[in-house]
Amino acid sequence: MSEKLAVFGGDPVRNTRIHYGRQSVDQGDIEAVAATLRGDFITCGPKIKEFEDKLCRYTGAKYAVVVSSGTAALHCTCMAAGIKAGDEVITTPITFAASANCARYCGADVVFADVRYDTMNIDPQKIREKVNERTKAVVAVDFTGQAVEIDEIRKICDDNGMFFIEDAAHSIGTKYKGKMIGSLADMTTFSFHPVKTITGGEGGAILTNSKKLYDRLLLARTHFITRDPALRPEEEGIWWYDQIELGYNYRLTDFQAAMLINQLNKIDGFICRRKEITRIYDAEFSTYDEILKRTEIPESDTCNHLYVMRLNLEKLKCDRKLFFKAMYAENIQAQVHYIPVYWFSYYQSLGHKRGECPIAEKVYSEIISLPLYPLMSDKDVNDVIHAVKKIIDYYRK
C-alpha cells in the first residue's frame, strides 16, 4: 500500500515549502558589504581588482573582468570577439536564454546544436555539423556543473578559426582533466546570481588567458571608453577620453565585490555540501528504474549546481507535468531546467522551429530539478527523497 499523495488530500511530506535553490549568506558577507559602504569607494574601487585577482588565483586564468551579471559577461564576450550581424554563433538549446541572447545582442544569428542524450551537454559532433563560413563562436554551457567535452570543442574551434566561449554559470569549481574551469576556453563566464554557487546578489565575470581579449573586455564593461594616453591627441589634456565602439555600463559595485570575495573564501565548503547532497540523491535513487541514471564524462570532476532528476517515462503512469504537480503538493518546489531556448516565442519569431533538436526536446520532457543548495539540512534532503519515492510508488506501472 503506497502513502496517499498530498495532491489527492494526503499529508504532505513537510509543512513548509522548500525551493530548488537558495543563497548562503552569513554575518561575514553582511560585514563585508557594510564595511565597503562605510568606505570611500562604492563602485570602481579596490574591491573589484581584489576580487578579480582572487578569481584568477582560484581558476588559474591569467585575467578576470567582473561585471554586473552573467548575462553582461556573455554579452561582453561577444563584443570582445567582434561578433556582428551576419555572423552565426552555435549554442545548446538546454540552457538559460542568455547563452543564446548574447549573440542576438550583437546582431548575430543563433544556431542550436543538439545535446547528447546521456550527459545533456552540447554534442561536439552536432556542433561540427552546424559549422559554416559564417560561424564565429561556440557558446558551450556546462549544464548542471558538468564540464562540456572541452578538448573536442577546442579542436573544432581551432580547426575553424572560431572563438570558444564557455558559459560556466553552473560550473565554477568544476575541474576538467584536473584543471579548474576558467582557463580552458578562450573566454569563460560566471554568474553570481543568488541560486549560483557563490553570489553577490547579482554579478558576473569573464576569465581569459588572452591579453588582447582582456583589453577589449575592459572596454566592453564601460561603454568602450578609453583613456589610453598613447591615443590622446596633442591638443587634449589629461581629462581626455574617447569612445571607440558602442558599449554599455556593465560595472559591478564594490560592495558586491566585497561580498563575493567573502563568498569565494567559502566556496570549498559550498562545493563539498553540494557534492554530498548529490551523492545522497544518487544513492537513494539508484535502485529505482523509474529514474534514469545520471551519466557524466570521466574528465569532469563536477561541482553540482543543479540536481536534474530524469524520469523514465516508460516506467511511469504519469508525465513530468503530473509528477511536478505532485511534488509541489508535497511542498517541494522543484523547477525545470530548461525549456529548449528555441521554443520561446522570440526565437520562433526569428524562424526557429520545434523539432530542431529532437534529443533536447526528449530530455525536456523528462527533467525535474530537485532542491540543491548548501544550507539544506539533512531533513530537507530526506523530505525531497521521501516525496520522490512516494510519488514514484504511486505512479509506478
Ligand X SMILES: *Cc1c(COP(=O)(O)O)cnc(C)c1O
Residues that bind ligand X (CB under 6 A): 69-71, 95-96, 98-99, 141, 167, 169-170, 191, 193, 204
DSSP string, 240-277: --EE-S---B-PPBHHHHHHHHHHHHTHHHHHHHHHHH
We find the least distance from the C-beta atom of residue 250 to ligand X, in angstroms, to be 11
Please give the angle made by the CA atoms of 274, 124 and 146, to the nearest 5 degrees.
5
- Which residue number, 278 or 369, has a Cβ lying nearer to ligand X? 369
- Which residue number, 170 or 274, has a Cβ lying nearer to ligand X? 170
We find the least distance from the C-beta atom of residue 320 to ligand X, in angstroms, to be 20
- Which residue number, 204 or 371, has a Cβ lying nearer to ligand X? 204
Q: What are the strands, taking DSSP E only, across 68-203?
A: 88-91, 109-112, 135-141, 163-167, 175-176, 179-180, 187-191
- Which residue number, 96 or 281, has a Cβ lying nearer to ligand X? 96
- The burial class, CB within 10 Å (0-12 / 13-18 / 19+), for 232 is middle
- Which residue number, 171 or 226, has a Cβ lying nearer to ligand X? 171
We find the least distance from the C-beta atom of residue 71 to ligand X, in angstroms, to be 3
Please report where in the chains the cell 542524450 appears, as a residue.
117
- Which residue number, 71 or 209, has a Cβ lying nearer to ligand X? 71
- Which residue number, 193 or 390, has a Cβ lying nearer to ligand X? 193
Query: Helical H runs in 22-137?
Result: 27-37, 46-59, 70-80, 98-105, 124-130
Among the listed residues 200, 252, 274, 202, the one whose alpha carbon sits nearest the alpha carbon of residue 21? 274
We find the least distance from the C-beta atom of residue 154 to ligand X, in angstroms, to be 20
Task: Give the C-alpha separation, 95 to 81, whole Å.
Answer: 21
DSSP 86: T
Task: Give the C-alpha separation, 351 to 339, whole Å.
Answer: 17
Beta carbons within 10 angstroms of residue 177's beta carbon:
12
We find the least distance from the C-beta atom of residue 251 to ligand X, in angstroms, to be 14
Beta bridge partners of 242: 226
We find the least distance from the C-beta atom of residue 337 to ligand X, in angstroms, to be 8
Beta carbons within 10 angstroms of residue 136's beta carbon:
22
- Which residue number, 13 or 72, has a Cβ lying nearer to ligand X? 72
Amino acid at 305: H
- Which residue number, 141 or 185, has a Cβ lying nearer to ligand X? 141
Task: Give the C-alpha separation, 293 to 350, whole Å.
Answer: 36
We find the least distance from the C-beta atom of residue 110 to ligand X, in angstroms, to be 14
- Which residue number, 294 or 337, has a Cβ lying nearer to ligand X? 337
> Is the separation of the CB atoms in 74 and 189 below 8 Å?
yes
We find the least distance from the C-beta atom of residue 214 to ligand X, in angstroms, to be 20
Q: Which residue is closest to ligand X by CB?
A: 70
Please give the angle made by the CA atoms of 78, 216 and 195, to the nearest 5 degrees.
55
We find the least distance from the C-beta atom of residue 59 to ligand X, in angstroms, to be 17
We find the least distance from the C-beta atom of residue 95 to ligand X, in angstroms, to be 5
DSSP string, 229-241: GGG--TT--TT--
